[in-house]
């Protein structure tokens, strides 16, 4: 079946994304603590070197610069998403279901479906990838739920196979 490799590739990509994001989430708590201790140490050093008022001004300015950089990066990402949405709006397929039904009436159904996927696949994938970041917490929860459910079902199936006579 020609869809099986695509599904296996998608499954591998999802596993890699969940693994990468769970590692990032686990590293976030120590990072926040490290930033807190770093800020306290910088505050102490700056107070000793330049006085209390200057220490607070320098730390405030440093966090302001960090916030501006993060804000600029977020706006740049929004512009990329807007460009992707504009590109999707300009795709040549206006009615994908009508075109798919026209293509399915032809003899080469597999070729027709792959051609249709080739026309819309890349812009749609970019849009889905962009939206996945916004809803990562939902995707992570769903992924964890599916993983736990599959482990439970696997364990139940193994126990059922060992308990059935003649198995």
Q: At CA 149, angle to CA 20 and CA 130, rounded to 5?
A: 35
- Structural tokens at position 118: 């080739």
Q: Cα dihedral angle (141, 142, 148, 149), rounded to 10 degrees?
A: 150
Does residue 10 have a pLDDT over 60? yes
Distance in angstroms (rounded) separating the CA atoms of residues 139 and 142: 5
Residue 86 has a pLDDT of 73
How high is the mean pLDDT of the chain? 76
Distance in angstroms (rounded) separating the CA atoms of residues 13 and 21: 12
Residue 76 has a pLDDT of 87
CB 23 within 8 A of CB 15: no
List, in order, residues 6 or more apart from 124 with CB less than 8 Å away: 88
Q: Which of 50, 32, 8, 19 is nearest to 139 (CA)?
A: 19
Q: What is the 3-state secondary structure (H, E, C) of 67-135?
A: HHHHHHHHHHHHHHHHHHHHHHHCCCCCCHHHHHHHHHCCCCHHHHHHHHHHHHHHHHHHHHHHHHHHC
- Structural tokens at position 138: 């939902």
If pLDDT is split at 50, 70 and 90, which confidence band does 48 have? very high
Residue 49 has a pLDDT of 92
Least confident of 32-36, 39-43, 135-139, 145-149: 135-139
């Amino acid at each position: 079946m020609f869809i099986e490799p695509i599904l296996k590739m998608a499954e591998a990509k999802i596993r890699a994304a969940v693994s990468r994001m769970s590692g990032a989430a686990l590293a976030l708590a120590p990072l926040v603590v490290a930033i807190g201790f770093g800020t306290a140490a910088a505050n102490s050093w700056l107070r000793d070197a330049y006085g209390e008022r200057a220490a607070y001004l320098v730390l405030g300015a440093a966090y302001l610069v960090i916030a501006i950089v993060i804000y600029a990066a977020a706006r740049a990402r929004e512009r990329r998403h807007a460009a992707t949405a504009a590109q999707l709006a300009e795709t040549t397929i206006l009615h994908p279901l009508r075109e798919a039904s026209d293509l399915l009436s032809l003899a080469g159904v597999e070729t027709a479906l792959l051609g249709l996927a080739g026309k819309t696949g890349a812009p749609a994938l970019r849009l889905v990838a962009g939206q996945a970041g916004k809803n990562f917490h939902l995707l992570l929860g769903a992924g964890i739920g599916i993983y736990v459910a599959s482990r439970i079902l696997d364990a139940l199936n193994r126990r059922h196979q060992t308990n059935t006579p003649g198995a």
